[in-house]
Structure 1
């Protein structure tokens, strides 16, 4: 597949490039949502190394979200392929939250995954406290499929034991998306 790059009204969604490292470091030096805790970056050098590993991936699994006019990095869209099924997640710098960028980019991303990458089913896991991502899933037309109680732990309690979180699964099928 060729280089991945597509645009929305305000955004460019593309493969990572080296100039993304500073903003990528800001995004992951202090993850705001626990599910990104294992991706925490400790240094700008670590961010640069991660960008070098990601920049040539052309399977749609990790993409940068940038402002269309300036190509400034503002967030990520990523996921994991399992045959014809894809799990999605999104992560944005705090300054760009609440402006509709997550919806605009996620909508384009789902369309890309369904219609260019031939995904049959797309799903997302969202922690029960992450109400903004739950709203986004619903706005994208995803349906809630279940709630997993004490499903997964990304962080630890003060005593060092795992902090298990309740996780909601949302999903949408290609035939539902294309209606």
Structure 2
């Protein structure tokens, strides 16, 4: 992936040097969908950073000033021209607009350079911050999938299924809002 710069951020490929920062935010996932990404050791962090460094669908979000890794974006292409996107940020950087700034840059990149026609995101019904982010990006809520997927279990061992919203935006809608 080519680097993308915003006013305050640099979006780039991951590298092994990101392991320490990854350990900080992936050791205690706050949203159930990231429980599968949980890491607990330095070795797991290095392995995770190296794995993501070889995959352009994972994008490191770093502060331009200092280069600190503060979170990540991810994409999954569905042929021919649709992308599923998501994000995961270190809690200590919340409330500063970094998720919005980086996600907006990602959507612009997907629409203008990767030929995306449609971009969508899945968001759990209790993840209010991501719902608000989707709305700030101009995405519309298309529906709610009841008991859509399970990332964790109840104390009795049965799966806990998440209600999940789908948000989406078309390129023509993105261009309309970008030109306002």
Which of the five TM-score ranges fits, normalised by the shorter chain?
over 0.9
Q: 1:118 is matched with which residue: 110, 115, 137?
A: 115
Deviation digits for residues 118-166 of structure 1 (CA, Å, limit 9, x no counterpart): 1111100000111111010001000000011111111111111000111
Aligned residue number for residue 103 of structure 1: 100
Q: Which runs of 5+ in 2 are unaligned?
A: none
1:33 aligns with 2:16: no
Query: 2:72 is matched with which residue: 70, 73, 76?
Result: 76
Q: Could you list the runs of 5+ residues in structure 1 that have no partner in the other structure? A: none
Q: Following the alignment from structure 1 to structure 2, what is the Cα–Cα distance between the partners of residues 127 and 54? A: 24
Distance in 2, Cα, partners of 1:171 & 1:141: 8
The equivalent of 1:175 in structure 2 is 172
For 1:136, the equivalent position in structure 2 comes to 133
Q: Which residue of 2 aligns with 1:22?
A: 20
Partner Cα separation in structure 1 for residue 171 and residue 66 of structure 2: 32
Aligned-pair CA distance for 1:25:
1.1
| Counterpart for residue 54 of structure 1 | 52
Q: How many pairs were matched up?
A: 175
- CA deviations 1:27-64 (Å, max 9, x no partner) are 11111100101111131111111211221333xx1100
Query: Aligned partners of 1:103, 1:22: CA distance in 2, in Å?
Result: 24
Match for 1:92 among 89, 104, 112?
89
Q: Distance in 1 between matches of 2:16 and 2:116?
A: 29
Runs of 4+ deviating beyond 4 Å: none
Matched, 1:63 2:81: no
Compute the TM-score of the two structures, normalised by the length of structure 1.
0.94
Q: What is the root-mean-square deviation in Å for CA atoms of aligned residues?
A: 1.0
